[in-house]
């Protein structure tokens, strides 16, 4: 039986970086104890949200999403999901 490794899992700026890492790394060397389950919604989206934001806020959201390599709408949805899940 092996002991838990102290190697911390790295953070990635884009999905592509994460995919390349997972494809080439020996994941048994990393500590996954801090990971939390992630639920991916398989059902089609049935509701639409339309909201007004200050231009600066929207641009900041778009910039952060671009840094992560994801669409800004996904970043907004993730923030909403985290807020609801943290109750």
Domain with 64, as residue range(s), is 47-87
Can you point out the beta strands (E) in the chain?
7-8, 30-31
Q: Are residues 54 and 87 in the same domain?
A: yes
pLDDT digits (tens, 9 = 90+) for 13-48: 887 888 888 888 888 888 877 777 766 665 677 788
Query: How many Å apart are CA 31 and CA 4, to the nearest integer?
Result: 6
Residue 56 falls within a domain, yes or no? yes
Q: Are residues 55 and 31 in the same domain?
A: no
Q: Are residues 56 and 26 in the same domain?
A: no
Residue 40 falls within a domain, yes or no? no
Query: Mean pLDDT throughout 68-87?
Result: 88
The count of structural domains within the chain is: 2
Q: What pTM was computed for the model?
A: 0.50
- Residue 48: closest CA among 77, 69, 72, 75: 77
pLDDT digits (tens, 9 = 90+) for 64-75: 999 999 999 999
Query: How many Å apart are CA 29 and CA 35, to the nearest integer?
Result: 15
Q: Are residues 29 and 52 in the same domain?
A: no
């Amino acid at each position: 039986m092996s002991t838990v490794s102290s190697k911390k899992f790295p953070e990635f700026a884009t999905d592509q970086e994460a995919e390349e890492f997972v494809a080439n790394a020996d994941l048994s060397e990393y500590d996954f104890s801090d990971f939390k389950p992630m639920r991916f919604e398989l059902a089609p989206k049935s509701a639409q949200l339309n909201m007004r934001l200050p231009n600066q806020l929207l641009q900041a959201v778009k910039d952060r999403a671009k840094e992560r390599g994801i669409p800004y709408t996904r970043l907004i949805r993730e923030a909403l999901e985290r807020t609801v899940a943290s109750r």
